[in-house]
A = this chain, B = another copy of it.
Amino acid sequence: MKVGFIGLGIMGTPMAEKLIAGGHQLYANTLHQVPPELVEKGAIACATPKQVAEQADVIFIMVPDTPQVEEVLFAANGCAEAQLKNKILVDMSSISPLETKAFAKRINQLGADYLDAPVSGGEVGAKQGSLTIMVGGDEGVFGRVKPLLALMGKNITLVGGNGDGQTCKVANQIIVALTIEAVSEALIFASKAGADPARVREALMGGFASSRILEVHGERMIKRTFEPGFRISLHQKDLNLALQGAKSLALSLPNTATCQELFNLCAANGAKDLDHSALVQALEIMANHKVSG
């Protein structure tokens, strides 16, 4: 199949490679130069998103945030300037669920289908082809694109209609951030009270406090291994989507708001490029005490 890929960064490049490896002709575009290793593997570099959309039947987008998706779709030389009839646009970026619904409507009016399909699993998941993919859109369209998604990910779920994939991703990022914060509060309490946080963590695993975050990020906090992983600056972006969404929806998310403030505190202290488990450092700064003693 002729597939397009727009946005060839840390995530997009390995994802596009999986599509080529799956036997598909790839039309590629990115803000700067298409990576030479992709062209060597057979990708055709296109000068604009419009050119990608003219050539390919299914066009994937993987860019940083909502304004970049809007640009790729609707700016001069964007996808919307191509003849889109019967084509499918699949936005795998993590962006605003509310804007996504509007983008999908505009694309549908041009005769094309739209899926929002944000991922979790990071660079490692992209390289392994093991991303979790949360999809919003029409069930029939999902069925047609699923074999392509299956080249990039493993746990692929149709959550609902357009926007619901992005909503699910935001929900994921809320839970992950707030659980990291929960483990941080528990471990710093234990440490300050004179207990060994490593033994406390072990005692809690298997009970009602157990989670993937306690397992993986709890260990990072105790062992002080804060190289990313998933950077604080990216999680700040995702919580911004949650908080902006909450404002639009007339919804109060008190602990998401506090969590964002704690990430801001980390960033103010030079930790924005550390793994998000370094959120614990915000509480440590406030208490002048390290979890690991």
Contact = CB atoms under 8 A, between A and B. Distances in A.
Nearest to A171: B186
A102 interface: no
A120 to B, nearest CB: 6
B213 A159 contact: no
Interface of A is mostly: helix
A213 to B, nearest CB: 7
A11 to B, nearest CB: 16
A132 B207 contact: yes
A283 B252 contact: yes
Contacts of A254: 185, 258, 262
21 contacts: A120-B207, A160-B194, A160-B195, A160-B199, A167-B190, A167-B200, A170-B189, A170-B193, A171-B195, A174-B182, A174-B185, A174-B186, A175-B211, A176-B208, A182-B182, A185-B255, A192-B250, A193-B249, A208-B213, A251-B289, A252-B287
Interface of A: 97-98, 120-121, 132, 134, 136, 155, 157, 159-161, 163-164, 167-168, 170-172, 174-179, 181-183, 185-190, 192-196, 199-200, 202-204, 206-214, 216, 242, 245-246, 249-256, 258-259, 262, 283, 286-287, 289
